[in-house]
A and B are shown apart, each in its own frame.
Chain A
Amino acid sequence: MSEFQRFLAKRLAISILLTLVAVSVIFVVLRLLPGSPFESLVTAGNLSQQQITEIRAMYGLDQPMWRQYLSYLQSILLFQFGYSILRSQPVWGVLAPRLVNTLILLVPALVTTAVLSSLLGMYVGWNRGSKLEKLSIIATTFLRSTPVFITGILFVIIFAYNLELVPAFGMRSISASPEGYVETFASLDFLHHYILPFTVSVLYYSGDFLLLARNGVVEKRGSEFLKLHRAKGLSEMQQLARAGRNSMLPILTYFALRLGMIFQGLILLEVVFGWPGIGRELVLAIQQQDYPLVQAAVFIMALAVIVANLVADVLYAYFDPTVSTSGGGAA
């Protein structure tokens, strides 16, 4: 086994362990919540005690806790998420479209902002002290620290209500009833609805990447190896490219982690723009104590973060030759 394979195997094992821990925590926390999914039905008086017992037996909720836990583990690790209690349809059928909706909004936004803001960050870091640097830092920090719903509402007021350029709400217009993903997303109507939330999320994420890239380049700017590059006769832009390449690691790590967290959606943004994403769905499910739905959603989110971490580690080892994959203390 090569050193890299061993490193990978080790990281994989750790990831699997982490997943198990995360899954167990979800299980326990949900059971600790007061009440049960049927409480509302019972208080409404629609169900008899007899019926409740039957339904509980049907969902296996009458079994001892450890047995519930075991069967939960078994199914969730096989990606069998079961039936939603309140919606009476398979959990995956509820979650999948919401997840796709969220990803189609946030992944392009994140990639766009990671590329653009990092490049801008590197540029302003290289030209330290310029007006552009100050302006970009102030602007992105402002956007980053303002809650996203405020920026969102502001944009809605300006572009949707006052200028009436784009619709304020939803993913498609109310009259549209598309079938399947292709029909939903491949239309001008969708693009029309897409622009505003996309722009807001790009701006929201931009600050972190800009600052990371800028700081990296500022730190590298005075370094000896850049002086040697300069002495070799590299042009200003080539030098900047080397400085940027050398400060890529934190950006890469941050990107991978953000990518993992995207699976949680941007709940506030989804609410403001009426975007049918996974974040909104999760909030609803928790309110209603829809165990299977919450468990599945949280499992997917945890898994995404863990996988993103793993990817970040592997990328790190690939992009920085000085990172030792053997994990020994010597490096």
Chain B
Amino acid sequence: MSLLDITDLTVTYSTDSGTVHAVNDVSFSIDEGVNYGLAGESGSGKSTLAEAVLGLLPSNGSVESGSIEFQGRDLTGLSERERRDVLWEDIAYIPQSAMDSLDPVMSTGAQIRQAIQTHRNVTDDKARARVRELFEIVGLDPDRIDDYPHEFSGGMRQRVTIAMALALEPDLIIADEPTTGLDVIVQDKIIDKILEIQDRMDSSLLLITHEIGVIAETCDELSILYGGKAMEQGSVDNVLVNPTNPYTMGLKNSFPEIEEGDQDPVSIPGSPPNLSESPSACVFKDRCPFATEECEASHPDLVDLPNRNHRSACHHVTKAAQMRRDATDPETWGIPDSHDESDRGEVLLETDGLEKYYEQSQPLLEQLRGNDPNYVRAVDGVSLRVRRSEILGIAGESGCGKSTLGETIALLKQPTGGEFVFDGEPYEHYADGNMREFRRKVQIIFQDPFDSLNPRQTVRQLVGEPLTIHDYRTEERERAIIETLEKVGLTPARKFLDQYPHQLSGGQRQRVAVAKALVLDPDFLICDEPASMLDVSLKVNLLNLLRELADTEDIGIVYISHDLASLVQVSDRLAIMYLGRVIEEGDVESIAAEPKHPYTTSLLAAAPEKDPTVDRDRVLLDGEPPDPVDLPSGCVFAPRCPKAEDECRESEPGLDTVRSGEHRAACYFPDGETPAADDLADDRSGTYGDPEFSSPASGDSASD
């Protein structure tokens, strides 16, 4: 018998501007012990679906029709009280943002205890014992159950919510984007943990995510949602290997993968549909290259494909093989194929041993004694070179100093040491009254397209503002703005001029942010995680745009991200950072193919694989980066490194320790010709359960 049966579920939200049809006639069922994936872009209705199952829809959302049967009971018909009994006892929930989903003024242990005692009549002592047990299961120190959420890092907080979900051994766990916002290494660890535990407890899992890679690796079956409709469902092996729906094909093609670094990922142009009316035509028709009149007439029903567990909602299922072939070609999607390698030009920016230290506040007494304060070495001796029309990717975990490096080379922060040369002039030249010139030539694009645009300015004002500040092209202002908007793909530009940011979609907003940076015709662009908030298909759009800009406009770009897969797609050269230092640098191809530094190897290995037939060896790094104030002597990576020897702990390897051509790495024992991942995995097999707190950093993560 199936555990959860969803039949023809329709969920709507009533808003000031009418009804939003978030989920339309979606059906699927989850069997006991099965991992089920729900994939789709934002706005596809996947989170709404989870909320409907849990009864957590916001007050303006309601289940219009359909049924949600859990173990034969219809959840939609339950009273508040009955529903509360089902929640957590039978269905537990792992929320999206681990950072804010724990009550900040309640100790983590108490929150889990609360979950237990709400449903079971147990004594405090017994509940505490259970919490300790749970902490142990998810790999947290059982002695920390009285700590508050802010004393844990993001990954550890997510472990706490997992522990909470397990507390009553529910039959079904719903995980809503459990790893979004976490670093790729932490993400890998969390997914691994969820799978391991869920295996042991024999419960079912409903995993909601926009990363098909994660689903490919963890789930047995999946549904692909788009515009509140199930586009394709069935077993993961069938759907992801041989998609029959154009949307699935697009989604799969836009998911960047490290191995195909030389190929441009293919994006799905356009933006998600307007859901203000219940769909009459195929929801995907506006973006679908294969759309015909038939698609206009009605939304296709899910059709069972013969002889396998696979259903697809497309009028053209029969032509699937043909479409699959065409879908990998960017031209099918109306994207011009413009990949002409232009030569890299002269060196634009050069740093040598660049440093940015932060002084730590120290007690008055220490100051009086004249003791030197401690420094946080956010950027510690970084030497980089960026040429014109070159994209340098900078990768690393959060806290490795990559954003500080970006702000330092943008001179938004003053370097505390080292050489800095831009366009032939040293830092002192710019600091000495020529900052305005520098500000025009160097532009920075920030992480969040939602916060970095002033909501009270129109696109015209937003993009025009830099022109006014720098008194640049003021006499042909309007033309400059329109040209730039067209350059970033906002066409027709006139249509956007008078719009406010909230009227634009996420992808369009990010384009406006890019236009704002480009309107001054800069020579150099610094992008700090510009795509981390965007859906896959929008992310690919942005990456392609940057690539094109570098190729045609001759500008140098530094692209900072923790997402190695997209870095590999877009960059020419890569620099891997760990704790303020560059530990490996070189051409993208050679780093992706033959990483030398064990840290790079593990970063590469942590990126999920979208092809479910490929078995990836998980390389799970222990612990978290050490405290940047009190660094270990020798190689900073040694405490987490599986290959560390005494030599590593004694002296620090320089970047030139390993060198082949342009490719350099700071390691005494570089990963050699043998496939690196295997080698590591052998060393590490069975040890991934090592608790995070064994690292010296655990105490310090509390301070942020």
A residues at B contact (CB < 8 Å) = 222-225, 227-236, 238, 242, 245-246, 319-322, 324, 327-331
Contact = CB atoms under 8 A, between A and B. Distances in A.
B104 A246 contact: yes
Contact of B114 (A222, A234, A321, A329): A234
Given A225-B100, A231-B88, A242-B103, 14 more contacts: A222-B58, A224-B95, A228-B101, A231-B54, A231-B95, A232-B114, A232-B118, A233-B84, A233-B88, A246-B104, A320-B105, A321-B105, A322-B150, A330-B703
Nearest to A320: B105
A227 B361 contact: no
A225 B111 CA distance: 10
Most chain-A CB neighbours within 10 Å: which of B84, B87, B95, B105? B105
Contacts of A245: 105-106
B97 interface: yes
Nearest to B118: A233
Given A234-B118, A330-B704, A331-B703, A229 B103 contact: yes
Nearest to B92: A231
Contact of A225 (B103, B115, B703): B103
B56 A227 contact: yes
A241 to B, nearest CB: 11
B148 interface: yes
A234 B100 CA distance: 18
B103 A246 contact: yes
Contact of A329 (B87, B97, B361): B361
A157 B54 CA distance: 57
Most chain-B CB neighbours within 10 Å: which of A223, A231, A319, A327? A231
Interface of B: 54, 56, 58, 80, 84-89, 92-93, 95-97, 100-107, 114-115, 118-119, 148, 150, 161, 164, 360-361, 703-704
Contacts of B114: 229, 232, 234
A224 B361 contact: no
Given A224-B96, A225-B100, A322-B148, A233 B85 contact: yes
Most chain-B CB neighbours within 10 Å: which of A228, A238, A246, A329? A228
Nearest to A324: B703
B84 A225 contact: no
Contacts of A322: 104-105, 148, 150
Nearest to B84: A233
B97 A224 contact: yes
A224 B95 CA distance: 8
B703 A224 contact: no
Contact of B150 (A223, A224, A321, A328): A321
Contacts of A235: 84
Given A224-B97, A329-B361, A233 B87 contact: yes
A320 B96 CA distance: 24
7 contacts: A224-B97, A224-B101, A228-B93, A228-B164, A231-B88, A231-B93, A330-B361
A230 B56 contact: yes
Contacts of A238: 118
Contacts of A319: 105
A222 B58 CA distance: 9
Contacts of B105: 245-246, 319-322
B104 A225 contact: yes
Given A233-B88, A322-B150, A328-B361, A227 B95 contact: yes
B87 A232 contact: yes
A222 B118 CA distance: 22
Contacts of A328: 360-361, 703
- 6 smallest A-B Cβ distances: which pairs? A233-B87, A224-B101, A321-B148, A231-B93, A233-B84, A224-B100
Contacts of A227: 56, 95, 101
B87 to A, nearest CB: 4
B568 to A, nearest CB: 33
Contacts of B56: 227, 230-231
A154 B595 CA distance: 83
Most chain-B CB neighbours within 10 Å: which of A232, A238, A324, A330? A232
A321 B149 CA distance: 9
B389 to A, nearest CB: 40
Nearest to A229: B103
Contacts of A233: 84-89, 115, 118-119
A240 B54 CA distance: 19
A225 B102 contact: yes
A9 to B, nearest CB: 12
Contacts of B89: 233
B472 to A, nearest CB: 37
Contacts of B80: 236
Nearest to B704: A330
Contacts of A246: 103-105
B452 to A, nearest CB: 23
A150 to B, nearest CB: 40
B161 A228 contact: yes
Contacts of B161: 228
Contacts of A329: 361
Nearest to B99: A224
A234 B106 CA distance: 15
A227 B93 CA distance: 10
A164 to B, nearest CB: 49
Contacts of B88: 231-233
A330 B702 CA distance: 10
Nearest to B363: A6
A32 B98 CA distance: 61
Most chain-A CB neighbours within 10 Å: which of B84, B96, B102? B84
Nearest to A222: B58
B374 to A, nearest CB: 11
A229 B88 CA distance: 10
Nearest to A243: B103
A322 B100 CA distance: 13
Given A231-B88, A233-B87, A322-B148, A225 B118 contact: no
Nearest to B86: A233
A228 B95 contact: yes
A186 B361 CA distance: 56
A6 B274 CA distance: 58
Nearest to B174: A231
A119 B251 CA distance: 50
Nearest to B112: A232
Contacts of A223: 100
Most chain-B CB neighbours within 10 Å: which of A227, A242, A322, A327? A227
Contacts of A231: 54, 56, 87-88, 92-93, 95
Contacts of B54: 231
Contacts of A234: 84, 114, 118
Contacts of B58: 222
A307 B92 CA distance: 47
A227 B103 CA distance: 10
Nearest to A6: B363
A253 B434 CA distance: 48
Nearest to B102: A225
B101 A225 contact: yes
A229 B87 CA distance: 10
Nearest to A235: B84
A322 B704 CA distance: 10
Nearest to B93: A231
Nearest to A329: B361
A223 to B, nearest CB: 6
A103 B86 CA distance: 52
A235 B80 CA distance: 9
A322 B104 CA distance: 7
A225 B58 CA distance: 14
A8 to B, nearest CB: 15
Contacts of B86: 233
Contacts of B119: 233
Contacts of B164: 228, 232
B81 to A, nearest CB: 8
A138 to B, nearest CB: 23
A184 to B, nearest CB: 42
A227 B92 CA distance: 12
Contacts of B102: 225, 228
